[in-house]
Amino acid sequence: MTSSELARQIHAASHLTGDFVLRSGRRATEYFDKYRFEGDPVLLDSIAREMVPLVPAGTEVLAGLEMGGIPVVTALGRHTGLPCAFVRKHAKEYGTCRLAEGADIAGRRVLVVEDVVTSGGQIVLSTAELRALGADVREALCVIDRLQGGAEALAAERISLLSLLTADDLRAAA
């Protein structure tokens, strides 16, 4: 599948118009409902397959951010064979009381995986916590970069943003 065909499928499945408040607090007239492409197992599998070449050499663990990054990281793990960690927004207060469940991250090269990036705020917060737990995080990988400052915010924290597609790619493919 070409990237423009994949972009067209993602756009058809997830593009909404209206008045939306984003996680960053910004308002938008278009929205990519990530759960629509994440909830389609065939489309999600195609997305993960196309993301494989973007995984940096030396990556030891894929870390999906709650909630949208979890299905993406699970599908990507199936294609790469890499173990996955599931990163909560806040460590749970019971059981293991862990921030990152699944694969151990301490002392390992970890790739943060997210679905859609706008400001990059959650990646910045989660990466700081992962680094405090001993993870070596250099990059984040997303399905869609909305091109609204996320890459620049991440670069300021020494995180390179890798994206499968941008909002412009989706619009062009529509």
Which positions make up the binding site for 5-phospho-alpha-D-ribose 1-diphosphate?
23, 88-89, 92, 114-122
Q: What are phi and psi of 56, to 5 degrees?
A: -65, 145
Backbone torsions φ then ψ of 21, nearest 5 degrees: -100, 125
157 near 131, Cβ under 8 Å?
no
Pairing of strands 100-102, 136-145: unpaired
DSSP 54: G
- Sort strands 15-21 and 109-117 into parallel, antiparallel or unpaired: unpaired
Which residues sit in the known binding site?
Answer: 23, 88-89, 92, 114-122, 146
- Residue 144, amino acid: I
Residue stretches of the annotated binding site for orotate: 118, 146
Calculated CA dihedral for residues 156, 134, 130, 51, nearest 10 degrees: 80
Give the span between the Cα atoms of 97 and 124, in whole angstroms.
21
Q: What single DSSP character describes residue 53?
A: G
Residue 85 β-bridge partners: 63, 102
